[in-house]
Amino acid sequence: MLKKKLAAALLAAALPAIGTCIAFSAFSATPAAAATAYPTKPLKFVVPYPAGGPLDTVARAIGDKLKDSLGQPVVVENRPGAGGNIGADYVAKQPADGYTIVMGAVATHAINPSLFAKMPYDPVKDFSPITLVADVPNVLVMHPGKAAELHINNVRELVEYARKNPGKLDYASGGNGSAGHLSGELFKSMAKVSMVHIPYNGASPAQLSVLSGQTDMIFDNLASASANIRAGKLKAFAVTTATRAAAFPELPTIAEAGKGLGLEGFDISTWFGVFAPANTHKEIVERLNHEIVAILKTDDMKAKLARIGAQPAPTTPEQFGALVQRELKKYALIVKVSGAKVD
């Protein structure tokens, strides 16, 4: 029953938002005049992760252009901790006036609500979605020496080997509940294979374990794995998203490569987007959406996203809200399958 629900959720998540989307939060009764005058002071753009990471890099690039289009400074502030919950919670509790926004992610708004026993905020009720910014595919990679030793050249051969040798293969991840961990657990569940999960304290040591041959494979972020794939230090099999990655168009998706193996509908990506506190006035949300979407369509921004393996994915606020709803349901099932918890 659980697998049927999971498959249904994955197929629903892959479908584009059509027709009337579910609105996330009602807009407040902020005076129309105040909304029209917006903005009249600097904006704070919170990144719930450390400085220097992909979300921070993109937020700063957007903020730099946003200050020109809005005519006000945009200050990027890093508030990391608790898997992104600290920064997201801070923004959830700020005034709904459009002057504090957050670069939320699949972790803060889809995975963590099922992963953490107690959440300081509600990812739906406490936020007004503005726009999805980008998708970053994960990629299934293996140590090339191990792949050659076991004669594994693609997803089909990987699954066939794992089925014949349960528990012989292991995969690294950046920790329990990480996108890499959940990708591996979903892969195991759908393909009906047994592999050992080896969690590390962060994505970098997890990737190093595969590069050194300590572990066999990893569902890694494409941005961090791309250089080693091109250098031949990692053997790439497939991306985890529903569509192929622009940076590696020759790589199939896991759903494509695993056709007939139970992997149809496989779809996991690291997405991120902009949110404001709940009840932010509709005119302010629409203004921010208009400006950020325009930024994402510039050649300069597309190039910046491509450098980190990300693909721009601007949406309307309603489409973004509907996406989060679908992702919450999907990851609730995936986390349940994985048994991952963070207390």
Write down all domains in the chain, each with its CATH number in brackets: 2-136+269-338 (3.40.190.150), 138-257 (3.40.190.10)
Q: Decide: 197 and 171 in contact? Cβ < 8 Å.
A: yes
pLDDT at 111: 94
Query: Average pLDDT in the 49-68 region?
Result: 92
Task: Indicate the DSSP class of residue 228.
Answer: H
Confidence bin at 19 (pLDDT 50/70/90)? very low
pLDDT digits (tens, 9 = 90+) for 277-297: 999 999 999 999 999 999 999
Confidence bin at 146 (pLDDT 50/70/90)? very high
Q: How far apart are CA 207 and CA 212, in angstroms?
A: 9
Confidence bin at 341 (pLDDT 50/70/90)? confident
Q: How many CB atoms lie within 10 A of CB 272?
A: 26
pLDDT at 66: 97
Lowest-confidence segment of 19-33, 196-210, 274-288 by average pLDDT: 19-33
Q: Decide: 48 and 108 in contact? Cβ < 8 Å.
A: yes
Q: How confident is the prediction for the chain on average, in pLDDT?
A: 89
pLDDT digits (tens, 9 = 90+) for 173-190: 988 888 899 999 999 999
Count of helices and strands (H, E) across the chain: 15, 10
Q: Decide: 263 and 191 in contact? Cβ < 8 Å.
A: yes
Q: How far apart are CA 79 and CA 87, in angstroms?
A: 5
Residue 204 has pLDDT above 60, yes or no: yes
Q: Decide: 129 and 321 in contact? Cβ < 8 Å.
A: yes
